[in-house]
Amino acid sequence: MAESPRTTVTVLGLGAMGQALAAALVRGGYRTTVWNRSPGKDTELVAAGAKSAATADEAVAAGDLVVACLFDHQSVHDVLDPIADQLAGRSLVNLTSTEPKGARELAEWARQHGIDYLDGGIMATPPMIGQPGSSILYSGSQRVFDEHREVWESLGSAEYFGTDAGTASVVDFALLAGMYTMFAGFYHGAAMVRTVGISGADFGKRAADWFSAMTASLPVAGAQIDTGDYTTVFQSLDFTKAALDAIVSASRHAGVDLDIVGPLKNLVDRQVADGYGTESTERMFESLNPPPLQRT
């Protein structure tokens, strides 16, 4: 390992993601101390140059910057509450997936204990960490983000969303909502094509190409929903309604449940019923009861 006099970093939690983060930090030359609740997950990291701590308390004492990557919000409190005094005066970044309200609650908890808190949302899988394509979204303490920017960039691209600790989580969960919905759509299609003998693997290749081609238009769709004006029509709601009616009917014939496409059809049907059939399909966004756009 290239020893470095730079920031010393502590990683709390050595699940798949914690191990990937710690490994990237070691590769980046940071003196890294690791801790995990159950033993045995630090072997490779120690061989690569990390120090292992027997307790979370000892681990925190070794690092200027503490990275928590645990299972969920409750496990973060389970680990951090007993060592709040040790964390006082340090910088803490929480990369555990945490709801916005959880991130804000932790920021307030940290403030009360004199801890500088940054929240992060990881948009990557463990093997992607430190590689091109890895992206981490941050919000909370600007000082922690700015001061340790090099550390964040050793993990992936780093984007800061402002001082509200909950904002990174909102963006993280919004992206995940889109991703899970897209995958659910893929499963629906895979169930349909199975009735004609096409495998999931085959359909997966076709769907990857098709989704990539289609998602290129998302920035344009996003710009239209920002205007709230759907009179410039890319594809009308009437057209989309006819397509979804046919897809729903074909799915019924194929014996595939409508849990995925049914709600989608409802969004379109509501707009058509309200008299917007000739407007652009992007108007289905309005069926979700979105709050007014805040211009910054």
69 makes contact with ligand FVH (CB under 6 A): yes
* Residue of the chain from 23, 66, 79, 261 that contacts ligand FVH (CB under 6 A): 79
Q: Name the segment binding ligand FVH (CB under 6 A); options: 26-34, 86-94, 122-130, 143-151.
A: 122-130
Per-residue tokens: 12: 């709390």
Q: Name the segment binding ligand FVH (CB under 6 A); options: 69-77, 106-114, 133-141, 142-150.
A: 69-77
Give every strand in the sheet of 65-68, ordered side by side.
51-52, 31-35, 8-12, 65-68, 91-94, 116-123, 135-140, 157-160
* Residue of the chain from 8, 71, 270, 285 that contacts ligand FVH (CB under 6 A): 71
Q: Which of residues 97-116 bind ligand FVH (CB under 6 A)?
A: 97
State the first-to-last Cα distance of the chain, in angstroms, to the nearest integer. Answer: 44
41 makes contact with ligand FVH (CB under 6 A): yes
37 makes contact with ligand FVH (CB under 6 A): yes
Nearest CB to ligand FVH, comparing residues 134 and 141 = 134
* Residue of the chain from 10, 86, 94, 96 that contacts ligand FVH (CB under 6 A): 96
Buried b / exposed e along 13-31 (16+ C-beta atoms within 10 A): bbbebbbbbbbbbbbbbbb
Rounded to the nearest whole angstrom, what is the least distance from the CB of residue 71 to ligand FVH in the complex?
A: 3
14 makes contact with ligand FVH (CB under 6 A): yes
Decide if 106 contacts 117 (C-beta within 8 A): yes
* Residue of the chain from 43, 125, 232, 249 that contacts ligand FVH (CB under 6 A): 125
Q: Hey, is 98 helix, strand or coil?
A: coil
Helix (H) or strand (E) holding 181: helix 167-194
Per-residue tokens: 205: 């290749």
Cα–Cα separations (whole angstroms), residue 281 to 57, 182, 268: 55, 17, 8
Binding site for ligand FVH (CB under 6 A): 13-18, 36-38, 41, 69-72, 75, 78-79, 96-97, 122, 125-126
